[in-house]
Amino acid sequence: MIRVLLADDEGMIRSALAALLSLESDIEVVAECADGAEAVSEAVRLKPDICLLDLEMPHLDGVQVTEQLNRTIAARCVIVTRHARPGVLRRALASGAAGFMPKSRSAHEVAVVIRRVAAGGRYVDPEVAADALSDERPPLTDRELDVLRAARQGESTRQIAHTLSLATGTVRNHISTVLGKLAVESRQQAVLLAEERGWI
């Protein structure tokens, strides 16, 4: 029997998927969690074979849950998402996720992936994988990417300059160039876009 923990903040989706997976003769849903923090604590307590995690949840997202569980228990994690972008896929795989698939898949397809991952295999949705392979190189230079990484924490221009050992004016110029290249209005929007696309 494959013991599965489900984590999704949308109650209706979580309950429906749990009910459908419970119809499978070899799958037992041992926990249904509404957020990432609950998923971590329940997974540590129950030690399921598979953790099926929504990417976007309160407290901890699916990638953060996967990172924490890979450090504590041997559960294999499959991340499901509505927004199967290439950058998100790269983040998920870097966290140690064994599976990645869009929420648009049927319960039967989810069960097939659960069995595959429980048997030691990995699964990445083919369409998402193709998008990730064809995703172009970022239009930003390495130094511009460094500035965005430093800006992630909401640091001021002066703090970023200190962190990167650059002049404040140089950092301002880099930020201005980044905003122009990405066609966004703020540093925060630039950081979000770069994270989505897996550049930082």
Predicted local distance difference test score (pLDDT) of residue 129: 78
pLDDT digits (tens, 9 = 90+) for 59-78: 899 999 999 999 999 789 99
Predicted local distance difference test score (pLDDT) of residue 176: 93
Are residue 167 and residue 82 in the same domain, yes or no? Answer: no
Out of 118, 134, 150, a domain closes at 134
Are residue 17 and residue 96 in the same domain, yes or no? Answer: yes
Are residue 129 and residue 168 in the same domain, yes or no? Answer: no
Are residue 65 and residue 163 in the same domain, yes or no? Answer: no
Output phi, psi for 182, to 5 deg: -90, -5
Three-class secondary structure of residue 125 per DSSP: coil
The residues facing 78 across adjacent strands are: 52, 99
pTM: predicted TM-score of the whole model, two decimal places: 0.69
Angle between helices 142-151 and 157-164 (to 10 degrees): 120
Report how many domains make up the chain. Answer: 2
Are residue 115 and residue 156 in the same domain, yes or no? Answer: no
Are residue 38 and residue 120 in the same domain, yes or no? Answer: yes
Are residue 101 and residue 190 in the same domain, yes or no? Answer: no
Domain of residue 187, CATH code: 1.10.10.10
Are residue 75 and residue 148 in the same domain, yes or no? Answer: no
Are residue 79 and residue 109 in the same domain, yes or no? Answer: yes
Domain of residue 124, CATH code: 3.40.50.2300
Predicted local distance difference test score (pLDDT) of residue 74: 78
Nearest to 200 by CA among 129, 150, 130: 150
Predicted local distance difference test score (pLDDT) of residue 136: 58
Out of 83, 112, 134, a domain closes at 134
Running along the chain, 200 residues long, what does each successive block of 10 average in pLDDT?
96 94 96 96 96 92 93 91 75 89 90 96 86 70 89 87 91 93 91 81
Rounded CA-CA distance 30/9 in Å is 17
> Which range marks the domain in which residue 157 is found?
142-196
pLDDT digits (tens, 9 = 90+) for 142-177: 889 889 988 887 889 999 998 889 999 999 999 999
